[in-house]
Amino acid sequence: MIHKEGRRLIIISFLFLGLVNILLFKDLENISWLYYILSFGLLVVFVLIVQFFRNPKRTTPIDPSKIYAPADGKVVIVKEVLENEYFKDKRIQVSIFMSPLNVHVNRNAISGVVSYFKYHAGKYLVAWHPKSSELNERTTVVTKHENGKEILVRQIAGALARRICWYVKEGDKVTQGEDFGFIKFGSRVDLFFPLGTKINAKIGDKPVGGETVIAEWGD
């Protein structure tokens, strides 16, 4: 299944790469081996574009006690930090880096109500840069759980990403596992949990968005 954010780009890419392939055939008609190599390269490019926008169907068991990973990727940060934008106090940060080969759909980690949303224009440092969460293009989404606690999820653009997409606003009711956004090409998602939350993730883990239980509510 192809995500809606990629359908137009895939059609344009198909037409453009098809045209390039026709021109190559005309220019290299007498050098067939070179034509086949370049043609195969164009096919690889097209396949990479298509796979980037894939949107696999995920079944998320709704569970108020659990917090699911909002994205596929690799856990690169698990630590206690001072969150300065919304909470302005200490939180547990878990960061998931998404390479261009990962699924880039972002899913709700919990069910609840969006209590805060803000988009920040910014730079395009590499997603694993320590300052990317403060300086890069990003969104901040805070969701309030039925238990009264809140978690913050931050979409962060990377060096390749040039567009963050989101489908929520303040006051929206959201459900675990449903799409809330998409980031085009390499990127990162940060989560900020209340102190005392049981964190199941560790650095190097490769969670699956909407399926991996990344944390659980503490007492």
Secondary-structure class of domain 66-216 per CATH:
mainly beta
Show me where the domains of the chain are located.
4-52, 66-216
Give me 105's structure tokens: 């759909």
Please provide the size of the chain in residues.
219
How much is the average pLDDT of 160-185?
Answer: 87
Is 99 catalytic? The answer is no
pTM of the model: 0.83
Tokens standing for residue 108: 């709700």
**Collapsed DSSP state (helix, strand, coil) of residue 37:** helix
Q: In the predicted model, is pLDDT for residue 14 greater than 90?
A: no
Which residue type is seen at 129?
A: H
pLDDT band of residue 22 (cuts 50, 70, 90) is confident
Taking residues 89-117, what's their average pLDDT? 93
Statement: residue 161 has pLDDT above 60: no
Handedness of CA 39, 43, 44, 46 (dihedral sign): positive
Task: Return the HEC string of 24-44.
Answer: HHHHCCCCHHHHHHHHHHHHH
